[in-house]
Chain A
Amino acid sequence: MERTLAETIKEITKKHLEENNGLIMGQCLTAVGWVNHTVPDCENIIELPMIDVAGSGIVAGAALVGRRPIFVIRFQDFINLNSSFIVDYAAKTKYLFGYGTPIFIRALSTEGKGAGPTHSAISHSYFMHVPGIKVCSPMTPGEYQEIWDEFMKDDCPMYVSEHRHSFNQTKELEDIILPNADITLYGISASRFNMIEAAKELEKKNIKCNLSHILWLKPLSLDRMIKPLKESKLGLVIDSDFEIAGASQSIAYELMKQTGYRVEALGAEDRPTGTYERYENGTPKVEKIVEKTKNLLKKK
């Protein structure tokens, strides 16, 4: 049977805890579903108290002495409290002192079902802004293995923007490059799933979309992303995080700078999220992607 993303995370973690003397640290790891079935039942699990400021400092200390902790932030919103030790310490020690503080930060997000204003954030864009940290958003088992292997290669901390909507994913998500495509859609985080659906809708209207999946946000590798854009000469970067000054705008700018072609951004709206459905924000809905694409094509 194919492995889900959640099972992959659990296996990677188990191996790390049992074979590398690694650690996993976080709040409420071993209760209520064990973080969506991603935490194994084995040694080297540290339950942190509800300390959202000192917590990441303790994790950083463990990283310094070689435990390569996996730090679980059950909702990305809590990263605001936890970020000082990540941004100001872990991301800087290499530059300042010559040794890194390798923390694997599993920042989970969710949307809908009343997640509301402080339990629905997707915050990878903040960390793209910070020097000294790698940022990625894996949505498939293969991608998760890739980013884990990358984490183990050096001593750089890594911000892993996870999304609960991807935890049952078993298949890899392949890029699609079509001859004479009208537009290239780039997807980040959970918006990749909506992007795929939007492309199907657009195809019914004879609009051909290239699809390009973005795993690494920082460092950003543009090579693979430029090729389809050269074909379609128009692009749209879609993200579940906020659009304004976020990953989508930043990557659109880089693509435009490199190619001279028009690339726009679409992400969460610039407003907080409310609890009930009509106030939700976050991953752009399929219809919204379709509409935005059509509007862009009118201007082409």
Chain B
Amino acid sequence: MVLIDEKKFLDIYRKMDYTRKFENQVMSAVDKGEIKCPVYLSIGQEAISSTLSVFYKPDLIFTQHRGHSVYLAYGGDIGKLIDELLGKDSGCNRGRGGSPGIQDLGIGMIGHHGLIGENVPIAVGAALGDPSKKVLCVFGDGAAEEDYVFTAMGFAVTHKLPVFFVCEDNNLSILTKKSERRSWELTDATKAIGMPSANIPDDPFVIAEYVKEFRNNLPAFLNCRTCRHRWHTGTGEDGKPEKDRLEIFREELIKNGLEHKIYRTEQLNGVEVEKLWKEHLQKQ
């Protein structure tokens, strides 16, 4: 394979690796008791927001509880995220929101209050209220089932609102599999009402193609099938994950001759993440 957009894909990898390293620090802080509140880790799911952020630049971002990867990929203030997880007044929500409520208005990212899928109608309303703003709305496969989600997407179609809907489909709502909850895919429903939609794996190369196609044709919907590595809340794990997209993507980039650039990126990320965590933990 010839990599056309080498720089862009390296950037995606940089973000994925950064997020993974960040989340590893979160895990260590949780395990040491430095973080005392529930955390919702993005480990395993980094590819989606990392790729989106390279190809789609929204003015407003609405996520749900599992938002660390979106926050980091879109360049949210990392120090404030660490402080929020540590429960400090200097955190991005002054210690009131914790991991599920993170926001950074500097990148247009609005905090999530904790009710699954409610960010979807809210995102649609924001796009209606200010049509000059492009919106990104990220939710999970559980949220996709909430009554108000499809209805709000339909409203976005009717009013041709510039919202990019993205479902991080990890096949789980807490620990209940999709097959135990429903027999349908949301993309079939959104296609039926005329919204550009696709149900794809969380492979950056595939996501990139669709984002490029959809971003000027909003509203649109991407359901990205991904794999959460850790428990719904906290740092525990149920055995080895089915796949590790970060690892797969890394191998592909290496096959494309990017080995040295990858090593360098990993090294720089490692140093930066560690330094930031150290600084912020010492500030405590």
Interface residues of A in 108-128 (CB under 8 A from B): 113-114, 116-119
| CB atoms of A276 and B36 under 8 A apart | yes
Whether A116 lies near B100 (C-beta < 8 A) is yes
Q: A270-291 interface mask toward B, CB cutoff 8 Å, 1 = contact, 0 = none?
A: 0000111111000000000000
- Collect the chain A residues with CB atoms within 8 Å of residue B142's CB: 50
> Are the C-beta atoms of B145 and A51 separated by less than 8 Å?
yes
- Count B-side interface residues using an 8 Å CB cutoff: 31
A297 an interface residue at 8 Å Cβ cutoff? no
Contacts of A276 in B (CB 8 A): 36-37, 87, 95-96, 98
Q: Is B182 an interface residue (CB 8 A)?
A: yes
Q: Report how many A-B pairs have Cβ atoms within 8 Å.
A: 87
Residue B58 lies at the interface, judged by CB distance under 8 Å to chain A: no
Which chain A residue lies CB-closest to B114?
A118
Cβ–Cβ contact A275 & B117, under 8 A: no
**Nearest A residue (CB) for B173:** A50
Q: In the complex, what distance in Å separates the CA atom of A278 from the CA atom of B176?
A: 33
From residue B215, how far is it (CB to closest CB) to chain A in Å? Answer: 28
- A32-B87 in contact (CB<8A): no
Interface residues in A254-300 by Cβ distance below 8 A to B read 274-279
Which chain A residues lie closer than 8 Å to B174 at the CB level?
Answer: 28, 31-32
The reply to whether A49 and B181 contact each other, CB–CB distance below 8 Å, is yes
A53 within 8 A of B: yes
Name the contact of A116 in the complex, choosing from B114, B143, B175, B181 (C-beta under 8 A).
B114
A49 to B113, CA, bound (A): 21
Please give, as numbers and ranges, the residues of chain A lying within 8 Å of B144 by CB-CB distance: 50
- Check: A170 CB closer than 8 A to any chain B CB: no
User: In the complex the two chains form, is B181's CB within 8 Å of A50's CB?
Assistant: yes
Q: Is residue A148 contacting chain B, with contact meaning CB distance below 8 A? A: no
Interface of B is mostly: loop
Cβ–Cβ contact B176 & A114, under 8 A: no
Q: Quick check: B180 and A51 within 8 Å, CB to CB?
A: no
- The count of residues in chain A whose C-beta lies closer than 8 Å to any C-beta of chain B is 27
Q: Are A117's CB and B146's CB within 8 A?
A: no
How far does the Cβ of B264 sit from chain A's closest Cβ, in whole Å?
Answer: 38
* A47: contacting residue among B98, B113, B176, CB under 8 A: B176
Contacts of A93 in B (CB 8 A): none
A169 at the binding interface (Cβ < 8 Å): no
- Give Cα A31–Cα B178 distance, bound, in whole angstroms: 13
Complex contacts, A50 vs chain B, CB 8 Å: 116-117, 142-146, 173, 181
B252 CB to closest chain A CB (Å) equals 34
Q: Is the interface of A mostly helix, strand, loop or mixed?
A: loop
Contact with B along A117-156 (1 / 0, CB 8 A): 1110000000000000000000000000000000000000
**CB-nearest residue of chain A to B93:** A275
Q: Of all chain B residues, which has the CB nearest A57?
A: B147
| Cross-interface CB contact of A30 among B101, B113, B176, cutoff 8 Å | B176
- CB distance B95 to A274 under 8 Å? yes
| A51–B147 CB distance below 8 A | yes
Instruction: Collect the chain B residues with CB atoms within 8 Å of residue A77's CB.
Output: 114-115
Q: Is the CB of B145 within 8 A of A275?
A: no
Q: Mark A46-61, 1 if CB is under 8 A from B, else 0.
A: 0101111110000000
Cα–Cα, bound, A103→B12 (Å)? 50
Shortest CB–CB separation between residue B186 and chain A, in angstroms? 11
Query: Is B55 part of the contact surface with A, judged by Cβ < 8 Å?
Result: no
B97 at the binding interface (Cβ < 8 Å)? yes
A94 to B37, CA, bound (A): 45
Looking at A53, A116, A278, which has the most chain B CB atoms within 10 Å of its CB? A116
Q: Is the CB of A49 within 8 A of B182?
A: yes
Contacting pair A78 B115 (CB below 8 A): yes
User: Which B98-137 residues sit within 8 Å CB-CB of chain A?
Assistant: 98, 100-101, 113-117
Cβ of A117 and Cβ of B113 under 8 Å apart?
Answer: yes
Give A residues with C-beta under 8 Å from B.
27-28, 30-32, 47, 49-54, 77-78, 81, 113-114, 116-119, 274-279
Given contacts A28-B174, A32-B232, A50-B143, 8 further A-B contacts (CB under 8 A): A28-B176, A47-B180, A50-B144, A52-B116, A116-B37, A119-B114, A275-B37, A277-B87
- List of 6 A-B pairs having minimum Cβ-Cβ separation, nearest first: A118-B114, A114-B37, A275-B98, A274-B96, A31-B175, A276-B87
